[in-house]
Amino acid sequence: MKINWFSPLPPARTDIAHYTTRVLPALTELAEVTLWTDQSDWDQSLTKQVAVRSYRLGKIPWVELNRADANFYNIGNNPLFHSSIWQISRLHAGIVVLHDLRLHHFFDDIFRVNWRDLDSYLAVMESYYGEAGRLDASECFHGNARNIDHMAEHYPLTQLAVEHQLGVVVHTGEAFDILSRDQDCPLLLAPLPFNAKRNIEASLSKAGGPPYRLIAFGYIGKSRRLLSVLKALADMPERSEFQLDVYGDILDDEDQLRSQIRALDLKQQVHLHGFASEKKLDEALGQAHLSINLRYPTMGEASGSQLRIWSHGLPSLVSQVGWYSSLPAETVAFVRTDENEIGDIQLHLRALLKEPKRFEEMGRLGRRVLEAEHAPARYVQAILELAKQSQARRPQVTMNRLADRTGVMLSEWANSRTAVEAVENVAKEIFELGRVG
Amino acid sequence: MRILIATVHVPFIRGGAEVHAEGLRDALRAAGHEVEIIAVPFKWYPAERIIDHMLACRLLDVTEVMGTPVDLLIGLRFPAYLIPHPNKVLWILHQFRTAYELWDHQLGDLIYSPNGAEVRDAIRHADRHFIGQTKVVYANSANVAARLKFFCDINASPLYHPPPHADKFHTAEAEDYFFFPSRLCLPKRQSLVLEALANTKKPVRVRFAGAADQPAYQSELKTLARKLRVHDRVEWLGSIDEEKKRDLYARCLGVIYPPIDEDYGYVTLEAMLASKPLVVCTDSGGPLEFVRDEETGLISEPEAAKLARAFDRLWQDRNAAKKMGAAGNALYREMNITWDNVVRKLLA
């Protein structure tokens, strides 16, 4: 099977790039793979495993896409990494691997910010959510109107990424449930793949403690709840029993974060390391006792970071929302959101001091879930099977696009009896043209 | 009977398909029927236009005209053969070739469209569905029938028809030239013939007749002829009238016809009617149904050096050429390629 795989590639700072490197060995076992990238710089070691093709929008060699048995489009919430991929997917149907469920930020950035095309953004909102959607969208950017997080929650715009595709892969039960309500194309729920590290020791027994080493890593924005963690620590008399290491870029105001740390008198406990190489991060995870992997609000994504944490056999605190809330209770410690957040963090940290063995077991069980459900080979088998089945869907996709085109044309005859009859005739014939069997 | 012939027409372009439809109309009228051609204008780019045209054809209602039923619809070309009718017979000239055998081919263009694969599969799907629903399916040639079977698992019988004015072809003593009448375009492979000429040992001459689909292509061919130093052995006659064409057939030594996978090819039949041997290629498609190697012509690999050997052979051995031409003419007569036969089968 010949497949094209569109994805950010390392060293792009997104877990989706790492995800691609994680699935690649299993993928190349079963298919002839070409990676496609619009990055100017990518990890050249990938070329030892597969062909890597560089592309530019506007100069896509469509013949290569048409020759493939399947084209996979990895779509996440960051336009920097996924805007081109999404645009290609709109022109050539394939399998969308959906890494985020709520894509409003993504499309808002593309339409309104990058293209400065408010009209198209509003038209899209109206198309999916009617007049109310359009109104909310237009108010969203006026004065004290609704903010973008509200928009993402209520108007996820997921359909814009998956409509007219041959198949969709999601990694969370939430995404599967929501999309299966109004998705007519094959939909696959496949747990995010991750290769468990070969040899680990249970984190607590190998390093000892207290003080216990806490670790938070990734792109540290507001949704990572670092401020809540700091406040929780600051209010605890046992704070000296913990050391918190933070790895990754601080997306918001780093100076402000540092002054908060000083103001809360946590300089001895909290260390900001900035971006770290994969190797260094693995070393840090190997030395940690507990990972803090909070995410609120969540865009509905499965967390590659969580799988990495489990891979190290680490226990973790996670927000009790979205995908995280679906994790087995014995594998993570849940932190409720809003007013309970700080209290829950403190509760778990105290529990760690009292019952380290329970947390050790939590990490071990998490690792077991990882090994049982997230094996890349199983994942790859499932998505390739979907790709095979979905090829038969191309005529329906073509007819859906035809229905869109004729719908626009017929809407110009709106409100006339003739238009209704025309729509019925057209709909019947489009159905016949695309009918299977 | 009131009969409609459904075909498509690319405005300002006239070729074998138009001649075919008119021939059928005239034959049906001669048999006493009331007949019209309905030609749907066709444009195939961007690729989604093809789908639009398919829908347009499906939305046409030609079951009756002013209260009087249309008794029969004969569908010839995609997507006009998708037009619905309760009594429909298909006589398929060819399917939409770039969705089939020309998909990943030097002559294919659909594969270069962003949505090429989607449109290809939609065409194939519709063909399987709607051709499959039709009770009687004929193909223009065994070659077209074989493609229908291979790609769509549809059984079709080949039904041959004569070229226009078949009764007016005649023969004469061979003169020192081969004749190659065809539109100047890539699928007909005039360039291969020029390359072959550069490889002949004899002073073989070729007269090309036919207009270029694109003016630039004619210039390219002329430039190639100069580059190969064969320009003084070729003539570019351009578009010629039918009488002149028949005269050139009659006086030529043989007819060259090496297209890529032709559906049918009037040239083959016209050469046979003029009692001239043919030189065709192993991948020429339809012509291979009529040319018997070493009996009615020569079948060569589509390579310049091999084609050159075939030219030299006929150039040198005029007796053999004459015999092959006569055998071709006899074969044509045996095959019952007549409009009467076509009308009888389509109306059966």
pLDDT tens digits, residue range B191-211?
Answer: 999 999 999 999 999 999 999
B149: pLDDT strictly greater than 90: yes
Per-residue pLDDT at A429: 85
**CATH dotted code for B166-334:** 3.40.50.2000
Residue of A nearest to B106 (CA): A63
Nearest CA to CA, how far is B258 from chain A (Å)? 27
Q: What is the mean pLDDT of residues B251-269?
A: 96
Q: Are residues A296 and A430 in the same domain?
A: no
Q: What is the mean pLDDT of residues B330-347?
A: 96
Cβ contact, residue pair A395, B122, below 8 Å = yes
A224 inside domain: yes
Helix or strand or coil: residue B119? helix
Task: State chain B's mean pLDDT as an integer.
Answer: 96
Q: Are residues A362 and A421 in the same domain?
A: no
Contact status of A113 with chain B (Cβ, < 8 Å): no
Per-residue pLDDT at A207: 59
CA nearest neighbour of B185 among B260, B250, B237? B260
What are the structural domain ranges in chain B?
2-159, 166-334
Cβ contact, residue pair A92, B51, below 8 Å = no
Measure Cα distances from B112 to A52, A63, A397, B332 in Å.
20, 5, 18, 41
Contacts of A432 in chain B (CB under 8 A): 58, 129
CA nearest neighbour of B134 among B86, B76, B62? B86
Cβ contact, residue pair A65, B125, below 8 Å = no
Measure Cα distances from B137 to B127, B144, B238, B346 in Å.
12, 11, 37, 9
A306 inside domain: yes
Q: For domain B2-159, which architecture applies? A: 3-Layer(aba) Sandwich (3.40)
Look up residue B138 and give its DSSP letter.
E
In angstroms, rounded to a whole number, what is the distance separating the alpha carbons of residues B220 and A25? 49
Per-residue pLDDT at A301: 76
Q: Are residues A169 and A259 in the same domain?
A: no
Mutate to test the interface with B, among A91, A185, A398, A435 (most CBs of B within 10 A): A398
Per-residue pLDDT of chain A (437 residues; tens, 9 = 90+): 999 999 999 999 888 999 999 999 999 999 999 999 999 999 999 999 999 999 999 999 999 999 999 999 999 999 999 999 999 999 999 999 999 999 999 999 999 889 999 999 999 999 999 999 999 988 887 765 567 888 888 999 999 999 999 999 999 988 999 999 877 789 999 999 998 876 665 444 555 778 999 999 988 888 899 999 999 999 999 999 999 999 998 877 888 889 999 999 999 999 999 989 888 999 999 999 999 999 998 876 778 899 999 999 999 999 999 889 999 999 999 999 989 999 999 999 999 999 999 999 999 999 999 999 999 999 999 999 999 999 999 999 999 899 888 887 777 766 666 677 777 888 888 888 887 54
Contact status of A62 with chain B (Cβ, < 8 Å): yes
Measure Cα distances from A417 to A414, A420, A422, A426, B32 in Å.
9, 5, 9, 14, 43
Asked whether the beta carbons of A427 and A403 are under 8 A apart, the reply is: yes
The backbone region for A163, taken as left when phi is positive above 0, alpha when psi lies in -120 to 50, beta otherwise, is beta
In this chain, the answer to whether the domains covering B2-159 and B166-334 adopt an identical fold is yes
Q: Are residues A44 and A127 in the same domain?
A: no
Instruction: Kindly state the tokens that stand for A294.
Output: 């909070």
Helix or strand or coil: residue B9? strand
Asked whether the beta carbons of B239 and B210 are under 8 A apart, the reply is: yes
Domain with A408 in it: 393-434
A236 inside domain: yes
The structural domain count of chain A equals 4
In angstroms, rounded to a whole number, what is the distance separating the alpha carbons of residues A46 and A24? 9
Nearest CA to CA, how far is A372 from chain B (Å)? 37
Contact status of A91 with chain B (Cβ, < 8 Å): yes
A267 inside domain: yes
Q: Are residues A415 and A359 in the same domain?
A: no
Q: Are residues A134 and A213 in the same domain?
A: no
Q: Are residues A119 and A73 in the same domain?
A: no
A79 inside domain: yes
Q: Among A345, A374, A403, give the residue marking a domain's end.
A: A374
Task: Please name the member of A397, A405, A406 whose beta carbon is closest to the beta carbon of B118.
Answer: A397
Per-residue pLDDT at A204: 46
Q: Are residues A318 and A217 in the same domain?
A: yes
Q: Are residues A184 and A57 in the same domain?
A: yes
In angstroms, rounded to a whole number, what is the distance separating the alpha carbons of residues A30 and A205? 40
A314 inside domain: yes
Task: Please name the member of A62, A402, A432 whose beta carbon is closest to the beta carbon of B112.
Answer: A62
Contacts of A397 in chain B (CB under 8 A): 118
A85 inside domain: yes
Q: Are residues A78 and A188 in the same domain?
A: yes
CATH code at position A369: 3.40.50.2000
In angstroms, rounded to a whole number, what is the distance separating the alpha carbons of residues A237 and A370? 35
Contact status of B52 with chain A (Cβ, < 8 Å): yes
Q: Are residues A349 and A367 in the same domain?
A: yes
Contact status of A103 with chain B (Cβ, < 8 Å): no
Q: Are residues A121 and A98 in the same domain?
A: no
